[in-house]
Structure 1
Amino acid sequence: MLLQLPERVYDRFMTVSHAEGSVGMMSIFRKLMPREDRFFEMFSKHSKTVVAAAHALDQLLKGNDVQKNCERIVTLEDEADDVTREVLLAVRRSFITPFDRGDIKDLIQSMDDAIDMMHKTVKTIRLFEQVSFDPLMQQMGGEIVKAANLIAEAIPLLDRLGANAHRLAAIAEEVTRVEGRSDELHDQGLKDLFLRHGASGNAMAYMIGSQLYGELEKVVDRFEDVANEISGILIENV
């Protein structure tokens, strides 16, 4: 069955299409048709869930209610998974999306990867029954909160890419700087572990500590992946 466009939309589409030629016709068509804007609501809901998980991780690394905050992260990860499924279902069902379907899928999955990595960190903490954490790990928790807040700021701005392009680019750059600081903390942490446990031959303490440092670093890496997805959307649409 042929798609029947409203006459006003069809006239606008044909006028712009003749002016621009065949190149970019689908992009023009996308801009003329009504958009499915609930994607932004779902993105924001997911990002708020990730921020809440980042705060819980930061608190448990400080030794505050470790088990309670572990449980909270597990619950929040389940909630984030639900939102991710909603987004992927909406991508399949929506005729017009605010930007490319592949970009929507990659964006929400990269966001979900960040909270999944927090959940993996919680599994390690529980497995090895950790209740206290190195000061450098605690600093990494602070960097994770910064990265989560930056992404949460960026997500609503995607609704108006052109108007918000400058701020979105700045946020992506700041997330990269946060990732760089986290890398430095990770390296310092491994060195500290070696100095404290290497000479004494406490291989288990070194192994557990290095695994936690590695997982915390990967949490921030996943936020950088989100920032890279946002940068890619900017390049394609602005």
Structure 2
Amino acid sequence: MIFRKLLPREGNFFELFNEHGARIVEGARAFTAMVENYADIEERERHASAVIHAERQADKVTAEVNRLLHKTFITPIDREQIHSLINAMDDILDLLQDSSETMSLYDVQAMTPEVVRLTHLSVKCCERVVHAVSLLNQLSKHDAAEAAIKTCEEIDQLESDADRVMRAAMSKLFREQEDVRELIKLKAIYEQLESISDRCEDVANLIEGIVLENS
């Protein structure tokens, strides 16, 4: 018993989840601003740099969570859940950065309404992810657990909306786009943007599991 009391306990995992969540929202909003100001090259590059900065800061948080996992004997939730959750959250920002870089590498000249719509759905998904994550340290409260589940359901709905927008965008693209190079570029971008909501749904599924096991 004395030995157990001396073991490293808990750490600040929930604080780190929230910190990473803040970087997700920061990156998502910067990405949205980049898309909305795409015609302004200076503004585009400024916001693209902000996405990269958010992703790098989030990587530091992920590394800290993994470091703490090795040092902490008793964790507030299952160790595998902590590891899976922080890495799933990191995947969201990786995709935001990848999408930003793809637009630059492919030399996309203008944003389509479908890109804008998918971007807005992506940032909504990211904001709901962060809200769900912020409730994890309150799961002993019934209201917080219910709110987390409800938020996860909202993320699932947003993912379904993004999937529908992507399918419609693909249909329009193959019917109307005559330039094969532009078709290939936009197809790749549509798929990446829809994948952001998929990764948000992955996080939501993990959170639902945590809530069910710990509330």
- TM-score past 0.5 threshold: yes
Is 1:122 matched with 2:96? Answer: no
The residue that corresponds to 1:18 in the other structure is: none
SS at match of 1:225: helix
Amino acid across the alignment from 2:146 = H
Is 1:48 matched with 2:22? Answer: yes
Output the CA distance in 1 between the equivalents of 2:82 and 2:2.
Answer: 24
CA-to-aligned-CA distance 1:8-41 (integer Å, 9 cap, x gap) = xxxxxxxxxxxxxxxxxxxxxxxxx995251111
The farther-off stretch of 163-172 and 62-71 is 62-71
CA-to-aligned-CA distance 1:150-193 (integer Å, 9 cap, x gap) = 11111121002131110010001000000000001101111121
Q: Choose which of 182, 186, 210 in structure 2 pairs with 1:205.
A: 182
Structure 2 gap ranges (5+): none
Q: Indicate if the aligned counterparts of 2:155 and 2:201 stay in contact, CA closer than 8 A.
A: yes
The farther-off stretch of 144-153 and 218-227 is 144-153
Q: CA deviation at 1:5?
A: 4.6
Q: Indicate if the aligned counterparts of 2:8 and 2:73 stay in contact, CA closer than 8 A.
A: no
The residue that corresponds to 1:151 in the other structure is: 129
Q: CA deviation at 1:63?
A: 2.8
Q: CA deviation at 1:196?
A: 2.0
Output the CA distance in 2 between the equivalents of 1:81 and 1:177.
Answer: 28
1:52-201 matched pairs, under 5 angstroms: 52-64=26-38, 65-163=43-141, 164-197=144-177, 200=178
The residue that corresponds to 1:10 in the other structure is: none
Normalised to the residue count of structure 2, the TM-score between the two structures is: 0.91
Output the CA distance in 1 between the equivalents of 2:91 and 2:25.
Answer: 13
Output the CA distance in 2 between the equivalents of 1:162 and 1:139.
Answer: 37
Amino acid across the alignment from 1:41 = E
Q: Are the structure 2 counterparts of residues 37 and 167 from structure 1 closer, same or farther at C-alpha, using a change threshold of 3 Å?
A: farther
The residue that corresponds to 2:198 in the other structure is: 221
Output the CA distance in 2 between the equivalents of 1:158 and 1:34.
Answer: 21
Amino acid across the alignment from 1:161 = L
Q: CA deviation at 1:85?
A: 0.3
How many matched pairs?
208
Please tell me the root mean square deviation across aligned C-alpha atoms, in Å: 1.7
Amino acid across the alignment from 1:179 = E
SS at match of 1:162: coil
Output the CA distance in 1 between the equivalents of 2:69 and 2:2.
Answer: 19
Structure 1 gap ranges (5+): 7-32
The farther-off stretch of 164-173 and 33-42 is 33-42
Q: CA deviation at 1:67?
A: 1.5
Output the CA distance in 1 between the equivalents of 2:19 and 2:95.
Answer: 18
Output the CA distance in 2 between the equivalents of 1:180 and 1:117.
Answer: 18
Output the CA distance in 1 between the equivalents of 2:54 and 2:14.
Answer: 19
1:7-22 matched pairs, under 5 angstroms: none
Q: Indicate if the aligned counterparts of 2:58 and 2:90 stay in contact, CA closer than 8 A.
A: yes
The residue that corresponds to 1:4 in the other structure is: 3
Q: Are the structure 2 counterparts of residues 131 and 98 from structure 1 closer, same or farther at C-alpha, using a change threshold of 3 Å?
A: farther
Amino acid across the alignment from 1:166 = E
